[in-house]
């Protein structure tokens, strides 16, 4: 199997893998999926991710289709480099291989400019035309005309707060803080038309390539607020060269006044996803972000 054949017959990929006709090398792929580098007969490689057989639950319906739709939508903007979708199957996704490289100041500045261009490509509404996922969790993408604060509270905060309470990750004190943020959501300002955003842009979903560019991977893409992507880049230690990313961004599309004070509000979404998925280990981070939003 070569790349030309795979593009023309993606449905045959599982058969070739089952019969060990393709060389497979395990690679890092996150906490949700198994990931492999597949080396084809013509020397080309692709990145493949699949639902782990060890999981107790089957792959959710539309899980890989949602990621593929988001990748194609981000790629269509022609702004930030996004891997090509080579094969999209119900339990497997194969993407263009991106050779990793080191983060550099030049790549960071360029990425900031390109991210601004991606956001400016816009979206017809908040949400998206496909069902969404973030990590292994469903995410409401029902299109909405907004306004953004109401949409964000209803579709990006409330569902994951409920899940985090149900699994015992958050207690009454944290719930009260997040509910106060939601109650005051209209007071944070910064409402803008929907931007074309990655939606899960923590630093691990920014792939620094050997080509000297930063690539977007593993999106939860939708029409959202552009500040959400930038706030997520600052989570979990922050992206390399983050100040240069922000400088490059501001060159192309300056952020609205008060954006720094709104960072914790935008970070709450992904932090609540983490308490919903991984439990109380992220309780302190949720509490700190909600507290900063209320008192910042």
Residue 289 near residue 274, CB atoms below 8 Å:
no
DSSP per position, 52-113: -TT-SSPPPTTHHHHHHHHHHHHHHTSSS----EEEEETTEEEEE---B----HHHHHHHHH
SS3 10: helix
Place of tokens 């263009």: 96
Alpha-helical runs (H) found in 121-258: 148-152, 158-166, 172-183, 226-233, 242-252
Residue 218 near residue 207, CB atoms below 8 Å:
no
Known active-site residue 200: yes
Q: How many CA atoms lie within 13 A of 109 on its CB side?
A: 5
Place of tokens 């959202």: 224
Given its phi and psi angles, is residue 258 left (phi above 0), alpha (psi -120 to 50 degrees) or beta? Answer: left
31, 41, 91, 200: which one is catalytic? Answer: 200
Backbone φ and ψ for 182, nearest 5 degrees, come out as -65, -40
Cα 156–29–275 angle (5° rounding)? 35
- CA 9 to chain centroid, in Å, comes to 28
Catalytic residues: 200
């Amino acid at each position: 199997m070569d790349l030309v054949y795979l593009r023309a017959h993606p449905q045959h990929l599982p058969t070739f893998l089952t019969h060990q006709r393709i060389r497979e090398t395990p690679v890092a792929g996150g906490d949700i999926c198994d990931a492999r580098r597949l080396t084809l007969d013509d020397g080309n490689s692709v990145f493949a991710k699949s639902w782990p057989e060890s999981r107790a639950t089957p792959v959710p319906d539309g899980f890989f289709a949602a990621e593929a739709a988001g990748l194609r939508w981000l790629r269509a903007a022609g702004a930030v480099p996004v891997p090509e979708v080579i094969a999209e199957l119900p339990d497997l996704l194969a993407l263009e291989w991106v050779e990793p490289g080191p983060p550099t100041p030049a790549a960071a500045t360029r990425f900031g400019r390109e991210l601004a261009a991606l956001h400016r490509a816009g979206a017809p509404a908040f949400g998206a035309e496909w069902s969404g996922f973030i990590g292994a969790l469903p995410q409401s993408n029902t299109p909405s005309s907004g306004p953004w604060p109401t949409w964000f509270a209803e579709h990006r905060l409330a569902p994951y707060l409920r899940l985090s309470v149900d699994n015992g990750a958050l207690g009454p004190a944290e719930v009260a803080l997040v509910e106060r943020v939601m109650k005051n959501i209209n007071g944070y300002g910064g409402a803008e038309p929907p931007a074309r955003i990655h939606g899960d842009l923590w630093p691990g979903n920014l792939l620094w390539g050997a080509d000297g560019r930063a690539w977007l991977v593993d999106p939860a893409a939708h029409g959202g607020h552009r500040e959400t992507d930038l706030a997520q880049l600052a989570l979990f230690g922050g992206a390399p060269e983050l100040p240069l990313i922000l400088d490059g961004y501001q060159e192309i599309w300056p952020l609205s006044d008060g954006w720094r004070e709104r960072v914790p509000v935008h970070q709450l979404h992904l932090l609540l996803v983490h308490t919903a998925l991984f439990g109380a280990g992220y309780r302190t981070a949720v509490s700190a972000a909600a507290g900063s939003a209320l008192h910042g």
